[in-house]
């Protein structure tokens, strides 16, 4: 892949990552409730999920998902249920507590898994990947080129959300977040549940 095509691919991936939606809400809520390290873990987990879809697309597996309405619906429902679970957990949270940049909680595997599942249980990523890679994937592309495309998608996504976490945890924002941590956690909870209901309604109706 020549540099011009890669730059175009990167630009589209970045715009896709910047689009607001459930993923952004989950990353922000994780950072608010568990600190910077957990936010970074969630961002990396989400990037891994997106990268996996990218790998599936260049391998031809995404076509199977998009051509199977039942499988697509099942993934949509599972994704919506998981968002409801995250929203419920946020509503019951006691607050963000201390969000210092050096705050550490009981491990980052759960935030990373949250980020991964939010991406992995979103079958619309398959459609996005098909639309994206159809513009850049050459019929004669080798394994290295396909791997580069999948890596570009995942790393761009993770880097964007990591940047969001870094900006969110700057001292300028921390005091305001800490002063309203319980309210913000509940707002995120409501947003996640509403997003889940919307996703489920679109899938069923």
Q: What is the pLDDT along the chain (205 residues), one digit of tens a residue?
A: 778 878 888 888 887 788 777 888 889 888 888 888 999 999 999 999 999 988 888 887 667 666 777 877 787 787 778 778 878 877 876 654 444 444 444 445 689 999 999 888 887 777 777 777 777 777 677 888 888 988 999 999 999 999 989 988 876 665 666 566 677 778 878 877 887 787 677 666 6
Count of the separate structural domains present in the chain: 1
CA 72 to chain centre: 18
Q: What is the pLDDT of residue 49?
A: 92
Q: Identify whether 191 is part of a domain.
A: yes
Q: Identify whether 37 is part of a domain.
A: yes
Sign of the dihedral through C-alpha 170, 175, 178, 181: negative
pTM above 0.85, yes or no: no
Range of the domain at 108: 21-204
d(CA 201, CA 66): 18
Q: Identify whether 48 is part of a domain.
A: yes
Q: Identify whether 16 is part of a domain.
A: no
* Tokens linked to 87: 């929203």
Q: Identify whether 4 is part of a domain.
A: no
Sign of the dihedral through C-alpha 8, 56, 158, 16: positive
Q: Identify whether 5 is part of a domain.
A: no
Cα distances (angstroms) measured from residue 128 to each of 8, 124, 203: 15, 6, 17
d(CA 72, CA 169): 36
Q: What is the pLDDT of residue 105?
A: 46
Q: Identify whether 7 is part of a domain.
A: no
CA angle 147, 153, 159 (to 5 degrees): 125
Q: Identify whether 91 is part of a domain.
A: yes
* Tokens linked to 93: 């949270």
Q: What is the pLDDT of residue 68?
A: 78
């Amino acid at each position: 892949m020549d540099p011009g095509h890669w730059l175009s691919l990167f630009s589209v991936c970045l715009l896709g990552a910047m689009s607001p939606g459930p993923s952004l809400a989950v990353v922000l809520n994780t950072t608010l409730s568990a600190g910077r390290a957990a936010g970074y873990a969630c961002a990396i987990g989400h990037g891994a999920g997106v990268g996996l879809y990218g790998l599936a697309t260049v391998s031809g597996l995404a076509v199977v998902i998009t051509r199977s309405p039942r499988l697509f619906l099942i993934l949509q429902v599972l994704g919506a249920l998981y968002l409801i679970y995250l929203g419920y957990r946020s509503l019951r949270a006691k607050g963000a507590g201390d969000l210092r940049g050096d705050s550490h909680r009981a491990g980052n595997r759960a935030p990373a898994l949250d980020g991964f599942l939010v991406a992995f249980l979103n079958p619309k990523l398959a459609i996005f990947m098909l639309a994206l890679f159809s513009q850049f994937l050459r019929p004669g592309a080798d394994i290295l080129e396909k791997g580069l495309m999948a890596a570009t998608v995942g790393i761009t996504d993770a880097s964007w959300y990591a940047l969001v976490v870094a900006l969110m945890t700057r001292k300028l924002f921390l005091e305001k977040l800490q002063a309203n941590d319980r309210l913000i956690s509940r707002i995120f909870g409501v947003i996640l549940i509403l997003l889940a209901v919307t996703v489920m309604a679109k899938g069923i109706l």
